[in-house]
């Protein structure tokens, strides 16, 4: 399961002009129109279309998303606001529970900003949880101490699947309010990433009712009643697209789909039950944010290295990879070329590297940067890299080791550019 962090802020003096953020030449036209303009451009529960935003001071992350040259490799970390930070633990204690934290705009803003107060990260990510969407569907989400998330009403039969529908986004207003608050609090420091779980990953939790070690229940439905699984995934895909569009309206400057459990599927099943529905989400997303700027889309499938070539066809800008993937090979498969299918790459150091001494962390950072290869230079688009972990950061990670990693990424990647 993914819990994320970001931070918002937006009090502005001058609204940036399209295609003119710190000299960045962002795309102003899109090759693929939305399937339903009326649907995707409708007002959201947090409609901030007229809200002014502070000019972006650090656009390195967004430039890398658009495969444009940068003066260093941008870095942010999955789950960068979390239990490894003592200040997060203190805030969560005040909130009383994880959901007390995630559903309170002030707390969500505070914890999103915490890692940026410690580290010069190049992006913030909304603090929330991937299970907010099925919770809004009425499945009854709770977090049991020592057991993780659990649904009171899992989806395991035809009647339960038939009852599913895209939830009223007003039930998720707390998420969109948090996005707007975080964007304002960031005050243009770095971009804000919104996110959701993928349709398949949400389905895993919805059918299993909790985390799983063998995915027996959800795979039983997939193989025994593929019709029910397709129905469930269609509702999830449309829900995720609507949810991410509302985050975009609220101020998210990039959005990410976490396909955390895509890698548990067999070849063939992944393409049919995960990839196809991630593609459906992407097709339904708005292309421009509340400030008029285009919004890059990131897809991360843990364990998805086997299917990178197929994922190159996705209508997104960035593919995240886990630590099992060779970055040089991934670059050759999906990062090269001048066609509109080429992707920026995000990843992929093993999170457990952060338990090594700082000198070893620096050495492992060097290996990742070397694996990706020569940084892109020049005015044309090319292969770009966003440094990240191969999955979420562990709660036991020493905070000082994160500082060593961020400093090493920035220093070494600048040196590689001469």
Query: What's the CATH code of the domain at 183?
Result: 3.20.20.210
Task: Judge whether 12 lies within some domain.
Answer: no
Place of tokens 């339904």: 284
Task: Judge whether 411 lies within some domain.
Answer: yes
Task: Judge whether 30 lies within some domain.
Answer: no
- 216 classed as catalytic: no
- 174 classed as catalytic: no
- In the predicted model, is pLDDT for residue 303 greater than 60? yes
Task: Judge whether 49 lies within some domain.
Answer: no
Catalytic residue chosen out of the listed positions 63, 92, 183, 312 = 92
Q: What is the pLDDT of residues 176-206, one digit of tens each?
A: 999 999 999 999 999 999 999 999 999 999 9
Task: Give the residue with greater pLDDT, 19 vs 95.
Answer: 95
Helices H / strands E in the chain, number of each: 17, 9
Kind and range of the H or E element at 64? Answer: helix 60-65
Catalytic residue chosen out of the listed positions 3, 9, 79, 297 = 79
What is the C-alpha to C-alpha distance for residues 108 and 128, in angstroms, rounded to an integer? 7
Task: Judge whether 318 lies within some domain.
Answer: yes
- In the predicted model, is pLDDT for residue 251 greater than 70? yes
- Domain count for the chain, please give it: 1
Catalytic residue chosen out of the listed positions 59, 122, 129, 135 = 129
Q: What is the pLDDT of residue 51?
A: 63
Q: What is the pLDDT of residues 311-359, one digit of tens each?
A: 999 999 999 999 999 999 999 999 998 889 999 999 999 999 999 999 9
Q: What is the pLDDT of residue 16?
A: 31
Task: Judge whether 2 lies within some domain.
Answer: no
Task: Judge whether 406 lies within some domain.
Answer: yes
Q: What would the two tokens of residue 62 be? A: 């967004």
In the chain, pLDDT over 90 holds for what percent of residues?
82
Task: Judge whether 317 lies within some domain.
Answer: yes
Q: What is the pLDDT of residue 145?
A: 67
Place of tokens 């204690």: 93
Q: What is the pLDDT of residue 215?
A: 95
Angle between helices 173-186 and 226-250 (to 10 degrees): 40
Contacts of 23 (CB under 8 A, 6+ apart): none
Q: What is the pLDDT of residue 418?
A: 82
- In the predicted model, is pLDDT for residue 45 greater than 50? yes
Q: Where are the alpha helices (DSSP H) in 194-268?
A: 199-208, 216-224, 226-250
Average pLDDT over residues 210-228: 95
Contacts of 29 (CB under 8 A, 6+ apart): none
- 205 classed as catalytic: yes
What is the C-alpha to C-alpha distance for residues 95 and 179, in angstroms, rounded to an integer? 18
Average pLDDT for the chain: 89
- 189 classed as catalytic: no
> Where does residue 143 rank: exposed (0-12), middle (13-18), buried (19+ CB within 10 A)?
middle
Radius of gyration of the chain (CA): 20
Average pLDDT over residues 241-266: 98
- 83 classed as catalytic: yes
3-state DSSP: the chain helix, strand, coil percent, rounded to 5?
45, 10, 45
Q: 75 lies in which domain range? A: 54-416
Catalytic residue chosen out of the listed positions 83, 225, 287, 332 = 83
- In the predicted model, is pLDDT for residue 273 greater than 60? yes
């Amino acid at each position: 399961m993914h819990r994320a962090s970001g931070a918002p802020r937006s009090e502005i003096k001058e609204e940036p002009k399209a295609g003119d953020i710190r000299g960045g030449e962002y795309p102003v036209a899109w090759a693929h129109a939305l399937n339903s303009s009326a649907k995707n451009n409708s007002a959201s529960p947090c409609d901030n279309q007229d809200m002014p935003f502070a000019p972006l001071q650090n656009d390195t992350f967004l430039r890398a998303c658009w495969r444009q040259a940068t003066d260093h490799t941008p870095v942010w970390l999955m789950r960068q606001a979390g239990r490894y930070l003592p200040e997060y633990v203190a805030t969560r204690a005040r909130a009383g529970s994880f959901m007390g934290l995630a559903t309170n705009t002030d707390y969500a803003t505070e914890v999103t900003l915490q890692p940026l107060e410690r580290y010069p990260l190049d992006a913030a990510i909304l603090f929330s949880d991937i299970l907010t969407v099925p919770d809004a569907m009425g499945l009854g989400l709770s977090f049991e101490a020592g057991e993780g998330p659990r649904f009171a009403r899992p989806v395991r039969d035809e009647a339960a699947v038939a009852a599913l529908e895209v939830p009223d986004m007003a039930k998720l207003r707390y998420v969109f309010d948090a996005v707007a608050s975080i964007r304002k609090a960031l005050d243009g420091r770095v971009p804000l990433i919104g996110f959701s779980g993928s349709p398949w990953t949400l389905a895993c939790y919805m059918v299993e009712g909790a985390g799983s070690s063998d995915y027996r229940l959800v795979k039983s439905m997939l193989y025994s009643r593929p019709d029910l699984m397709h129905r469930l995934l269609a509702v999830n895909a449309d829900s995720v697209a609507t949810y991410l569009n509302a985050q975009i309206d609220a101020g998210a400057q990039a959005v990410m789909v976490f396909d955390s459990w895509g890698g548990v599927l067999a070849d063939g099943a992944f393409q049919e039950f995960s990839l196809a529905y991630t593609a459906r989400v992407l097709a339904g997303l708005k292309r421009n944010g509340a400030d008029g700027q285009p919004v890059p889309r990131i897809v991360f499938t843990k364990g998805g290295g086997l299917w990178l070539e197929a994922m190159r066809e996705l209508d997104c800008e960035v593919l995240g990879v886990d630590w099992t993937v060779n970055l040089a090979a991934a670059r050759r498969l999906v990062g090269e070329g001048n066609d509109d299918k080429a992707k920026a790459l995000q990843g992929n150091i093993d999170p457990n590297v952060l338990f090594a001494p700082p000198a070893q962390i620096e050495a492992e950072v060097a290996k990742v940067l070397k694996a990706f290869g020569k940084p892109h230079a020049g005015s044309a688009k090319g292969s770009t890299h966003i440094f990240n972990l191969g999955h979420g950061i562990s709660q036991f990670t020493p905070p000082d080791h994160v500082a060593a990693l961020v400093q090493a990424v920035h220093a070494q990647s600048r040196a590689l550019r001469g």
